[in-house]
Structure 1
Amino acid sequence: METSLISPDNTWALWAFLTGWAAASIYLEQKYAWASKMSGAIIALIGAMLLANFNVIPLESSVYDAVWNYVVPLAIPLLLFQANIKKIWQESGRMLTIFLLSAIGTVAGTIVSFSLLKDVIPHLDKLGAMMAGSYTGGSVNLAAMASKFEAPGELVSALVVADNAMMALFFFVLMAIPAIGFFRRRYQTPHVEEVEAKTADNEGETQAASFWQRKEMSLKDIAASVATAFVLVAVSFHLADFFARIVPTGANTNIFFQLLGGIIGDQYLVLTTLTVLVVVAFPNYFENIRGTQEIGTFLIYIFFVVIGVPASLALVVTTAPLLLVFTLIIVVFNLLFSLVLGKLFKFNLEEVVLASNANLGGPTTAAAMAIAKGWNKLIVPILLVGTLGYIIGNYIGTGLGMWFQTVM
């Protein structure tokens, strides 16, 4: 096995890379027009992907795990502190509808992909269940379906690699769509236009630089932001773990308890819900904290760097080319269904691409896209709707997996 220039256990060097490249991506986005159009999020992702595939940084490390386990959970409440809570349900209702319509694309794509490849890919009934769950909810659903259907470990590993590579390319496409004239002419884009309007008077600056202008921030603001985020994560995760232990689980469990456990036992759903409730209960406290969006967004950029790292294109090509085709078909169907049904039911382009992102990448990547694009009004709705996808994903994955087993 090839070794990377920076070893997986070189913790400080890897943290220096993650934070340094995230900072460099933000700088480029705010400094140069080409980078602003491309977005710092994509720069962060592609840079990490290239360095990982050229063996500069490792494909796996406990440092990357720390980003998923600590950095991402901290970013979520920070980005919800300034949310316009009064519009949550109005906005979330629209997002939930397009999210469910987008999920139809995942189901259709999985069925078509399974039908085409079931004779050439072993255990595709199990892998189909995993990807149906994952491309409705997220990686937690993939893990749950892999355990439920007892998929072979080597195939699971190859599928995860193919999935990561496909998602890296997919995020690039989704980030680019709102800037393409073909789509702008055919869909309403109120959130894009709002961001552009805010930057119209700042001709010497890029859109990103104008949006993220320097703001007053004190030591007290930083302390309150970070400490409150830590408290909310700690309380939420402990509550979710507690509920997960006391709610009955298992194959023979009543569907009500399965649904209840999926809701109150999910860490991210509890974290999102608790944060929203606390912000509603103490609006003055949160409205007076400065810098939460800036700190949270920087943490999300670190997350974007980590997304690009595991996408080992060489490993996909050598070990799982058919799995790459398998995931590609599902992704294409989801995106096509999202765009067509979104147009048919008159959804905004921003809502369509975020719903597709939430299905295929999960709520965190969808929220990260909304943040990177400056669509602040959609951050809370897509987080709420995308997190509920974790629950829906297990049922869709289970249903398709059981059906696929009967035709293998």
Structure 2
Amino acid sequence: MNGGTLISADNTWALWTILVGWAAISIYLEQTYKWASKVTGAIIGLIGAMILANLKVIPTEAPTYDAVWGYVVPLAIPLLLYKANIKKIWRESGRIVIVFLLSAMGTLLGTFIAFLALRNRIPELYKMAAMMTGSYIGGGVNFVAMAESFATPGEWVSALVVADNLLMALYFFVLIGIPSVKFFRDKFTHPHMDEVKNMGDNQEGETMAAQYWGRKEISLKDIGFAMGTAFAIVTVSTEVASFLGSKIPTGNFITDLLNGLLGNKYLIITTLTMLLATYLPGFFGNINGAQELGTFLIYIFLVVIGVPASIQLILTKSPLLLVFCGIIVLVNMIVSLALGKLFKFDLEEILLASNASIGGPTTAAAMAIAKGWNKLIAPCILAGTLGYIIGNYCGILMGKVLQLL
């Protein structure tokens, strides 16, 4: 035992084995068992690492963890955005994109209100406001990017993940339950519900995660192109952000904001990948397995953020952060339903758009599959993918503005 832990901080191979191995186990459990699917692989990964750290099996700090933050996270972003063809998203996702953008406005408003309400109760809340703005417009990849971008302390990230996932689980139950409430059925149109009224669920034995992450064809060339282009995009973006950050002066609100936006490598990574996916769709859109590779990298990160988490801190801080996230989600839901009703959107479109903004395209697709709204599966995935793109912009903008207040 070195440094008070069974595995020392310099035992790189052992630590990588635990991080990658537990990420794989978390995915297996999530896709195999209903209880694990409800808990989510994110929470399983985080709690497993937290237990190992608190039992002194692994250290709370190590160069291996720094490598995950510095290399694994940036690489995950372009891999998850290779199908983010803006033209295709706008053309094929139809009405859901519009209601998704309205829902994103609810997230922005909710984050601002939550920040004002709790700014004196939670230190450096602007960092977590940036993270939740990115997450509740995009998804986990944006949460990760904002956490690294604003250098949020690991223990607060862990506490926020617990609060976020608990609230998301509760909110998804609410979203799934809303269609069965007579008030909403009377106030909104619901053609897709009517269409599947007499249809049964043909995939009862399969978890939602397993349905979404079904087996796909992938070649060695796909892996090579996916990783090679991801490395190139991150390298170019890092250099561009560093150059812009050094050239844009600071000293007032406007220049500080511009420096913070244009000097942020995650914003450049997002922008560059989006442009490549939009104008070279025949290449990037046909790289099979990129989304799976990117998602697996995110799972590795989710294990890492559980490492520095003190169980005592989780129990004491997560309830307050749960209130913070709850305000954002509540405002998002109210704005989505109100504006959706105002602009005459169907109830199914509104619920899936809110789901896509709070949980990302995976959970929105899972809900559409579970409800049998098959015509809305692809549109809500595309709308959620749009969230991946604009989530980083909105998160960084929100964080920088609130930091300067």
Q: Counterpart of 1:273 in structure 2: which amino acid?
A: T
Match of residue 252 from structure 1: 252
Matched residues, percent identical?
Answer: 41
Residues 1:387 and 2:392 aligned together: yes
Q: Counterpart of 2:309 in structure 1: which amino acid?
A: A
Q: Distance in 2 between matches of 1:385 and 1:268?
A: 11
Unaligned runs of 5+ in 1: 118-123, 147-155, 192-198, 358-365, 400-408
Match of residue 177 from structure 2: 182
Q: How does 1:97-246 map to 2 (within 5 A)?
A: 97-114=102-119, 127=124, 132=129, 135-136=132-133, 161-162=155-156, 164-179=158-173, 181-183=176-178, 185=180, 201-202=202-203, 205-246=206-247
Contact 1:110 1:131 in 2 (8 A): no
Matched residue SS, 2:35:
helix
Q: How does 1:2-401 map to 2 (within 5 A)?
A: 3-88=4-89, 94-114=99-119, 127=124, 132=129, 135-136=132-133, 161-162=155-156, 164-179=158-173, 181-183=176-178, 185=180, 201-202=202-203, 205-249=206-250, 251-252=251-252, 255=254, 257-315=255-313, 321=316, 326-346=320-340, 348-353=350-355, 355-356=357-358, 376-388=381-393, 389-399=395-405
Mean Cα displacement is larger for which, 17-26 or 54-63?
A: 54-63
Q: Distance in 2 between matches of 1:145 and 1:99?
A: 21
Q: CA deviation at 1:276?
A: 1.3
The total of aligned residue pairs comes to: 358
Q: Counterpart of 1:164 in structure 2: which amino acid?
A: S
Matched residue SS, 2:252:
coil
Q: Counterpart of 1:392 in structure 2: which amino acid?
A: M
Q: Distance in 2 between matches of 1:326 and 1:370?
A: 27
Contact 1:92 1:385 in 2 (8 A): no
Change (3 A) 1:95 1:261: farther
Q: Counterpart of 1:390 in structure 2: which amino acid?
A: I
Contact 2:159 2:321 in 1 (8 A): no
Matched residue SS, 1:348:
helix
Q: Distance in 2 between matches of 1:284 and 1:143?
A: 32
Q: CA deviation at 1:144?
A: 9.1
Unaligned runs of 5+ in 2: 135-142, 193-199, 341-348, 368-376
Q: Distance in 2 between matches of 1:368 and 1:335?
A: 18
Q: Distance in 1 between matches of 2:211 and 2:146?
A: 39
Matched residue SS, 1:4:
coil
Q: Counterpart of 2:401 in structure 1: which amino acid?
A: Y
Q: Distance in 1 between matches of 2:319 and 2:211?
A: 41
Q: Counterpart of 2:109 in structure 1: which amino acid?
A: I
Q: Distance in 2 between matches of 1:40 and 1:12?
A: 23
Change (3 A) 1:324 1:141: same
CA-to-partner distance for each residue in 1:85-140, whole Å, 9 max, x for gaps? 3244576664444333223333323333356x5xxxxxx7x745555555546788
Q: CA deviation at 1:356?
A: 4.8
Change (3 A) 1:127 1:143: farther
Q: Counterpart of 1:383 in structure 2: which amino acid?
A: Y
Contact 1:110 1:128 in 2 (8 A): yes
Q: Counterpart of 1:109 in structure 2: which amino acid?
A: A
Q: Distance in 1 between matches of 2:358 and 2:60?
A: 26
Mean Cα displacement is larger for which, 162-171 or 297-306?
A: 162-171
Output the TM-score relative to the length of structure 1.
0.73
Q: Distance in 1 between matches of 2:300 and 2:191?
A: 28
Contact 2:85 2:281 in 1 (8 A): no
Q: CA deviation at 1:82?
A: 2.6
Matched residue SS, 1:174:
helix
